Amino acid sequence: MPLFINRDQIFAHQVHLLEHKLRSKEERILELETENAILHLRLAECLGKLRRDHEKETKAQKHHLQQRNAQKITRSALAKLLSEVQAVKQDLSELFAVYLSFSTELEEQSKQLLDKVQQASCSLKGDRGDEVQDLQAVVSALERSLEEERERCRAERQRRKELHNTLVELRGNIRVHCRVRPVLPFDHVPSSTPGSWPALSEEVVSTVSDDTVMVNCIKPGMPVHNKMYEFERVHGPEESQDAVFEEVKPLLTSLLDGYNVCIMAYGQTGSGKTHTMMGSQQLEEHSGGQQRAQPGAQPGAQPGAEQGIIPKAAAELFRMISEKPVYSHTVEVSVMEVYNNEVLDLLAKDAQGNPVEQRCDVITTSNGASQVIALKYQPVRDASEVMQILSRVLKLRAHCPTLVHPDSSRSHLIVTLTISSKSPNALALARRLQSAKKDMQLAAQKEWWSPRCRRANLAARKSSEDHLFASTASSPSRSPSHSPCPSPRRSVSQALFKTKLQLVDLAGSESVGMSGVSGAALWEVSCINRSLSALSDVLGALAEQRPHVPYRNSKLTHLLQDAIGGDAKLLVMLCVSPTQRYVTESLQSLGFGTRARQVQKELPRRKGNPLKVK
């Protein structure tokens, strides 16, 4: 029986198959269009990122070119200024030579004329009186001319000093002052070999001028050889504590302008460092009222005049703050000592309020600043509170009698006054804004911002930001500077701007044979000498501009890293003994000061330059 096939069913089946294929093709077309749209979005995103990267690279190249141009301009200006200073020095030396010859000639002529006047006054009478008056008028004119020449010489010397200070400011060098103490009773020690020459108590270190010190290097059987050392300021044995502080005083003005300042006393044991920094009155108080040997003290001086740099600096600081708006500045004090290469907090107390020995660690923050962990800061309102704290903690400082000094300090003392400013002047505000901008750029190079990093690295960033900006937790809205994630903007108007004044009384360098110590005191001498040697190595590396500076070879240099190699204004006060007995240590101290003057630091941070991490 033949099969009958319905053609309509066949066609319907084929149509159904074709519709199914059509739907499949349409779905495929939709998928391809979706993928195409996604690819277009990715392409647009990549093009935008490429454009932004190109713009950033262009800006970075322009900024680098501007920096190079600025460096070239600065170097040319420094070279021009240096050549002008050299020319002024040459002119001054020629003028000084002319002045010496002219002064000698005038003095000889004046003596001759005076002799003639005396002879004429005895022999001449009557009609010769007019001639005598003429001679006296000539002598008076010569004396006036001599005084004018001396005044011109003094003016030229003052001009040279101002130019030199300007050059030091531009080059960022460390300022070095030298103080020669007077000869004291304990300097008169009988020689081990009677009749030997030179005598141990002979004075061989002397001041030539207000910026030059001379050392007579005397050796038996050898000709006398004089060594000259030049510093920014040289104080002789006759100069008082007030005269020394007047040369240091201008640095304190920089504190309220936004600069960090460090004043450091360096020298051999018994050379007058603690007397220069603290003064004789504070030394007597912390030694229990007993008369302590005071190297550099002037006999018969008033107690107020014998105050050192630290009490005078505290008084001057609060005097300047009193001229500012009320409550615009607050001051905190911290006191540390570096003893046997360990940092000890002298303000630390236990639960009962008794002093306790607390060791602290020194770290380097992300922006290159050194910071002491768990260091106690105590607020102060005037200079008397500062001195009360110091008189209390000085009793805790390590001391030990030696053959050189009956109450020698065996640790490095660091007194830090931290000034928090709520209403900075225009210069400090500009420095704060530039510093915030630089810190933002530095943070942007180290980490990516993301909405998910709400708590990321909060503790690490907080410790590095607190030294520049104080906490504003009392504000109802969180400041961008305290946001857990880096923000493109940073609040500056509500933050505190902090500067610090570091006053350092270094322990004295000494030889084991001369000090006569043994046992535990021998280890103290070893730690002191090693830390001072590390300080000398750091200055040598900075002076030679080596790529690596060994700050971390000692806790002392690590602690003072900001002051030595950072943007702080640093003044080193060299204290030297004048006698032949200590001539070796005096030469070493003067050599240390000469190396310190050769260090060219980065310019003080007026534009918020980030600190270099070594």
Please indicate if the annotation marks 269 as binding a ligand: yes
267 shares a domain with 177:
yes
In a domain, 479, yes or no: no
Residue 476's pLDDT band (boundaries 50, 70, 90)? Answer: very low
Mean pLDDT check: name the lowest of 71-75, 421-425, 469-473, 533-537. Answer: 469-473
Q: Cβ of 486: how many Cβ atoms within 10 Å?
A: 21
216 shares a domain with 69:
no
Q: Is residue 567's pLDDT more than 70?
A: yes
For the stretch 581-606, pLDDT in tens is: 888 899 999 999 999 988 876 655 44
212 shares a domain with 113:
no
- Whole-angstrom CA distances from 77 to 74, 84, 420 are 5, 10, 35
For the stretch 343-355, pLDDT in tens is: 999 999 988 888 8
User: How would you write 154-169 as a 3-class SS string?
Assistant: HHHHHHHHHHHHHHHH
Q: What is the spatial distance between Cα 305 and Cα 327, in angstroms, rounded to a whole number?
A: 30
In a domain, 511, yes or no: yes
Please indicate if the annotation marks 304 as binding a ligand: no
Please indicate if the annotation marks 93 as binding a ligand: no
178 shares a domain with 103:
no
% of the chain beyond a pLDDT of 90: 39
Q: Is residue 478's pLDDT more than 50?
A: no
Structure confidence at residue 493 (pLDDT): 45
CATH number of residue 328's parent domain: 3.40.850.10
Structure confidence at residue 124 (pLDDT): 57
110 shares a domain with 50:
yes
114 shares a domain with 29:
yes
For the stretch 246-297, pLDDT in tens is: 999 888 887 887 888 999 999 998 899 999 999 875 544 544 444 344 555 5
In a domain, 354, yes or no: yes
Please indicate if the annotation marks 129 as binding a ligand: no
For the stretch 130-140, pLDDT in tens is: 777 888 888 99
Q: Which two tokens stand for residue 558?
A: 């690590």
Q: Are 214 and 226 in contact, with CB atoms under 8 Å apart?
A: yes
266 shares a domain with 122:
no
Please indicate if the annotation marks 519 as binding a ligand: no
Instruction: Calculate mean pLDDT across residues 377-386.
Output: 94
For the stretch 429-458, pLDDT in tens is: 555 555 665 565 555 544 433 333 333 344
Please indicate if the annotation marks 267 as binding a ligand: yes
Which residue is it, tokens 């029986």?
1
Of residues 31 and 158, the one with the higher pLDDT is 31
Q: Is residue 169's pLDDT more than 80?
A: no
Structure confidence at residue 257 (pLDDT): 78
Q: Is residue 229's pLDDT more than 60?
A: yes
Of residues 200 and 474, the one with the higher pLDDT is 200
Structure confidence at residue 504 (pLDDT): 95
Q: Which residues form the domain of 220?
A: 173-184+202-278+306-439+495-598
Q: Is residue 401's pLDDT more than 90?
A: no
Q: Is residue 150's pLDDT more than 60?
A: yes
Q: What is the DSSP letter of 323?
A: T
In a domain, 607, yes or no: no
In a domain, 197, yes or no: no
In a domain, 151, yes or no: no
Number of domain units in the chain: 2
- Collapsing DSSP to helix, strand or coil, 479 comes out as coil
Please indicate if the annotation marks 330 as binding a ligand: no
In a domain, 508, yes or no: yes
Instruction: Calculate mean pLDDT across residues 458-467.
Output: 42
In a domain, 369, yes or no: yes
Q: What is the spatial distance between Cα 121 and Cα 105, in angstroms, rounded to a whole number?
A: 24
Structure confidence at residue 156 (pLDDT): 83
99 shares a domain with 180:
no
Please indicate if the annotation marks 566 as binding a ligand: no
**Residues 6+ away with beta carbon under 8 Å from 425:** 256, 257
Of residues 292 and 121, the one with the higher pLDDT is 121
Structure confidence at residue 18 (pLDDT): 93
Q: Is residue 360's pLDDT more than 60?
A: yes
369 shares a domain with 239:
yes
345 shares a domain with 220:
yes
Q: Is residue 364's pLDDT more than 50?
A: yes
Q: Are 207 and 221 in contact, with CB atoms under 8 Å apart?
A: no
179 shares a domain with 96:
no
Structure confidence at residue 292 (pLDDT): 46
Mean pLDDT check: name the lowest of 149-153, 303-307, 588-592. Answer: 303-307
Which residue is it, tokens 């030394």?
283
524 shares a domain with 417:
yes
